[in-house]
Amino acid sequence: MYDDILFPTDGSDPSKEAFEYAVDLAATYGARLHVLYVADTNRDSVTTIGGEVVDALETEGERVVADVEERAREHGVEAVTEVLQGDPSTTILDYADDRGIDCIVMATRGRSGLKGLLLGSVTDRVVRQSSMPVLVVSNDE
């Protein structure tokens, strides 16, 4: 049923909880887990350190996906990792379409009411625009 599962992560605590669902689903179906971190180009994250241009979000993303890849291996799940720049929801959906992803597993912080409406949500946009199933793991803060 599932050969390729996408787990977009930002390294947050809600994402860490969603990982458990993603890795269990991948293990159950013998699926490959795609771990994606999107360095949000809507935010300024580039700086110069010692004369070298460094993108702090890309650096953080590399650390996050390496950690998730190691945790997936501990569960016996093959993981493919990638750090991309872009608008998070658009990049997630493009990645899923380009790679034939069967299911997306992602976290939401469970915001509701005016706060959720004003802040928007990457997860909400992915759910509304995805052509494949999306498993949303809620974390009420």
What CATH class is the domain 4-138?
alpha beta
Domain ranges of the chain: 4-138
How much is the pLDDT for 93? 98
**Most confident range, picked from 42-46, 92-96, 113-117, 120-124:** 92-96
With 0-12 / 13-18 / 19 or more C-beta atoms within 10 angstroms meaning exposed / middle / buried, residue 96 is: buried
Query: Is residue 89 a contact partner of residue 97, using CB atoms and an 8 Å limit?
Result: no
Residue 7 reports pLDDT greater than 60: yes
32 vs 117: CA distance, rounded Å: 34
How much is the pLDDT for 119? 42
Quote the mean pLDDT of the chain: 85
